[in-house]
Structure formats: structure tokens, C-alpha cells
């Protein structure tokens, strides 16, 4: 089965190599953002079988995507999004109309991560208590 490669808008990535519908990244912008931190990347959460990154890009910026060949990518001003990667390497992207909504959504991811950490600590404490290995 042959796939047609999707090309990015030339304003974002004039040297776009093309993207397969079965590739990890949907476009050059998401690949560049996933691999770097820019203007105001305000945080990541890494745990509970998921990586979550918040991107708040107020000003346009051109960066080189770190691949085999340097590919310039322009991150548009007003880019507010969350990129996720699950434990199988699948990428998800949620865009937001403003920085506040993106930050709020990210704060919820952080809250969920905190709950997951608490549950993991409780599970480990229960295992240690039941095995008699407390304090070792």
C-alpha cells in the first residue's frame, strides 16, 4: 500500500520533507516543538505512561528542526498547545485559543500526575509493609 506524503505549509516549513499518515509526527511544527523548548515552554509531565508538554509561544520564531538535514520551522506567534506521547510512542496534540486555556489544561495533567504518584507511593508502601521490609 502506498501512502501520499503530506507537506507542511511553506510559511511554516519551506523545506518540509513530507509526512506519512503512519509517521510519528503529523507535521514539522509538532516535531520541532516536541524536540525543543522555546519562548515560554512552561513545563512537562513525565510519568504514568505518558509525557505531556505545554507550549506557549507568544512571538513567532524560526528554529532548525534537529533531523538528518537542517529544516527551518517557523513557530507561529500565538501557538498554544499541549503535546502528549503515550508509552507506545503515539503523539497527540491539543490546541488552545489562548495561553490561559492551555495552562489550565496542563494544570489538570499535573493534578492527574500528582494523584497517580500518590497512588504509586501508597501501593509501594503496602507492598513493603506486607513483605516486612519496612525501613530497609
pLDDT of residue 126: 72
Mean pLDDT of the region 29-56:
75
Position 65 scores a pLDDT of 82
- Domain borders along the chain are 28-130
Confidence of residue 68 (pLDDT cuts 50, 70, 90): low
Is 0.85 topped by the overall pTM? no
Give 119-128's long-range contacts (Cβ < 8 A, gap of 24+). Answer: none
Is the Cα torsion angle 106, 111, 117, 123 positive or negative in sign? negative
The full length of the chain comes to 136
Q: For 31-42, what is the mean pLDDT?
A: 68
Q: What percent of the chain has pLDDT over 90?
A: 49
* Averaged pLDDT for residues 88-116: 93
* Share above pLDDT 70 across residues of the chain, in percent, rounded to a whole number: 84
Amino acid 104: pLDDT: 96
Of 63, 40, 39, 43, the residue nearest 53 (C-alpha): 43
Phi/psi region, residue 49 (left: phi>0; alpha: psi -120 to 50; beta: rest), is left
Segments in 36-98 forming alpha helices (H):
none
Amino acid at each position: 500500500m502506498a501512502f501520499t506524503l503530506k507537506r507542511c505549509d511553506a510559511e511554516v516549513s519551506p523545506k518540509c520533507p513530507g509526512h506519512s499518515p503512519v509517521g510519528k509526527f503529523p507535521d514539522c511544527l509538532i516535531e520541532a516543538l516536541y524536540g525543543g523548548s522555546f519562548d515560554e515552554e512552561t513545563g512537562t509531565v513525565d510519568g504514568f505512561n505518558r509525557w505531556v508538554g505545554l507550549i506557549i509561544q507568544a512571538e513567532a520564531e524560526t528554529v532548525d528542526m534537529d533531523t538528518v538535514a537542517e529544516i527551518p520551522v517557523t513557530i507561529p506567534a500565538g501557538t498554544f498547545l499541549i503535546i502528549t506521547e503515550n508509552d507506545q510512542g503515539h503523539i497527540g496534540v491539543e490546541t488552545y485559543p489562548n495561553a490561559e486555556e492551555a495552562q489550565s489544561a496542563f494544570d489538570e495533567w499535573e493534578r492527574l500526575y500528582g494523584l497517580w504518584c500518590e497512588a504509586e507511593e501508597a501501593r509501594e508502601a503496602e507492598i513493603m509493609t506486607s513483605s516486612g521490609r519496612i525501613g530497609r
